[in-house]
């Protein structure tokens, strides 16, 4: 899953949210240098990624893209699923998306010092471009995919993936909805399990 889904699946704890958001920048056991709640978020992120990558519904979405995008297909599906989360946001949260993402940007500013350097560098672009809100439109997803294509030095061709998004829009959306219901339950359970393990260690 991409940024918006990871943030959403973190629950209401700010530091768990920060850990989940920045986890891709934390390798191996370096997470242990962070406060407990940040550690919980990082470990939760890893559990979510493992569950997502192995799930048959996600693999079905990914297979549709594999011919044209090879091993980048999974990255594209993560981004497309964030589009459907943003588009269908009112099904998952009572807080309007624009307010939700603004609250998140304020949290990242508050806890900016704990972010990895790469994430710190990214944040001004995310906020000024309002990436999380713009996920809700195909134009916003196009912009994200173009940015990802630049990061791969234009070899991934990810900027073209909105073609498949439009072509198979209903299929992708249905797959997202089915998968995300399972993912919510999984993430809630794992977040509690990880929290309980930390409590046992005290």
**pLDDT, mean of each 10-residue run, the chain (202 residues):** 94 96 93 95 97 97 96 95 97 97 96 94 92 94 92 90 97 98 97 92 68
Q: What are phi and psi of 9, to 5 degrees?
A: -75, 0
The answer to whether the Cα torsion of 2, 146, 148, 23 is positive or negative is: negative
Half-sphere exposure of 76 toward its Cβ, with a 13 Å CA cutoff? Answer: 31
Q: What is the rounded distance in angstroms from the CA atom of residue 2 to the CA atom of residue 81? A: 8
Q: What is the pLDDT of residues 135-159, one digit of tens each?
A: 999 999 999 999 889 988 888 899 9
Q: What is the pLDDT of residue 123?
A: 94
Q: Which long-range contacts (CB under 8 A, 24 or more apart) does 58-67 make?
A: 58/175, 58/179, 60/175, 61/171, 61/172, 61/175, 61/176, 64/164, 64/168, 64/171, 64/172, 65/161, 65/164
Give residue for tokens 């307010």: 99
Q: What is the pLDDT of residues 114-124, one digit of tens each?
A: 999 999 999 99
């Amino acid at each position: 899953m991409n940024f918006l889904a990871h943030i959403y699946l973190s629950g209401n704890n700010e530091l768990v949210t920060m850990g989940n958001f920045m986890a891709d920048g934390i390798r191996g056991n370096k997470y242990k240098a962070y406060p407990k709640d940040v550690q919980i978020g990082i470990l939760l992120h890893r559990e979510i990624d493992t569950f997502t990558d192995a799930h048959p519904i996600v693999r079905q979405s990914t297979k549709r893209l594999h011919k044209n995008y090879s091993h980048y297909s999974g990255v594209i599906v993560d981004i497309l699923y964030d589009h459907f989360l943003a588009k269908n946001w009112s099904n998952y949260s009572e807080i309007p998306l624009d307010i939700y993402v603004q609250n998140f940007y304020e949290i990242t500013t508050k806890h900016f010092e704990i972010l990895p350097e790469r994430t710190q560098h990214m944040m001004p672009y995310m906020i000024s471009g309002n990436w999380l809100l713009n996920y809700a439109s195909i134009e916003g997803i196009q912009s994200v995919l173009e940015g990802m294509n630049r990061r791969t030095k234009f070899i991934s061709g990810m900027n073209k993936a909105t073609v498949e998004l439009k072509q198979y829009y209903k299929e992708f959306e249905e797959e997202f909805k089915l998968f995300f219901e399972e993912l919510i339950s999984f993430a809630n359970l794992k977040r509690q399990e990880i929290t309980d393990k930390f409590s046992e260690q005290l």
